[in-house]
Chains A and B, each alone.
Chain A
């Protein structure tokens, strides 16, 4: 069956360090993969989209990589700040699925001052 797995444990890092979050998937052939941020009690907010033919995407302090051979995406936040503390979700849209997204359960990131 199709499965999306994110870091099961919460991630705590020190301010200024780089946070790296992992998204692994099985039995998908995604046309693209997306990352969202979700704060407590709020809806997710879109951050980045990376397509199957792209290896890396950057936006300000964010970087996403996509390895379709390993079936893995890595999400990096450089020079992390306490304001980056949130839950980060990856989402996949499989080819031919009529543009629906399936979300992972997310990784809770806490950046300590």
Chain B
């Protein structure tokens, strides 16, 4: 079982609210990722980081932002949530030698 945690697991909020999805890992991995996944669909990379103070946008455009102030922590923020942001958000980190990714349990977001 990978040591990567996401909170909250489920979130229901109203339009216009600011939210932060938390992701933490205890494996000391430099690389971390955020994916968005709709039911039955593929994962889309929305943000990634290769270390502290490094963040990049992924191949799927997203209105969210991320920060990486500490190695173990990679939060994602939506300044003003909209119904189109309803989805599952998955955080992952990767081992630099094995190139595999370890995923958290995900946050299922519903914006009303």
Looking at B31, B41, B43, B104, the one whose CB has the most chain A CB atoms below 10 A away is B43
Contact: A49 with B98, CB < 8 Å?
yes
Q: Given the known inter-chain contacts A42-B105, A43-B104, A46-B101, please indicate yes or no for A105 contacting B40, CB distance below 8 A.
A: yes
Number of A-B contacts (CB under 8 A): 51
List A contacts of B101 (CB < 8 A). 44, 46, 101
Could you list 9 A-B pairs, sorted by A, with CB under 8 Å? A43-B92, A43-B103, A43-B105, A46-B100, A89-B43, A99-B99, A100-B58, A101-B101, A105-B42
Q: What 0/1 readout, one digit per residue, does chain B (17-61) give for beta carbons within 8 Å of chain A?
A: 000000000000001010100001111010010100000001100
Given known pairs A32-B99, A34-B100, the reply for A100 and B45 (CB within 8 Å) is yes
B interface residue numbers (CB < 8 A to A): 2, 31, 33, 35, 40-43, 45, 48, 50, 58-59, 90-92, 94, 98-106, 108
Chain A residues proximal to chain B, CB less than 8 Å: 4, 32, 34, 41-46, 49, 89, 93, 98-106
CA distance A103 to B100 in the complex (A): 12
Select one of A4, A46, A99 contacting B31, CB under 8 A. A99
Q: With A and B bound together, what is the CA distance between A28 and B90 in angstroms?
A: 24
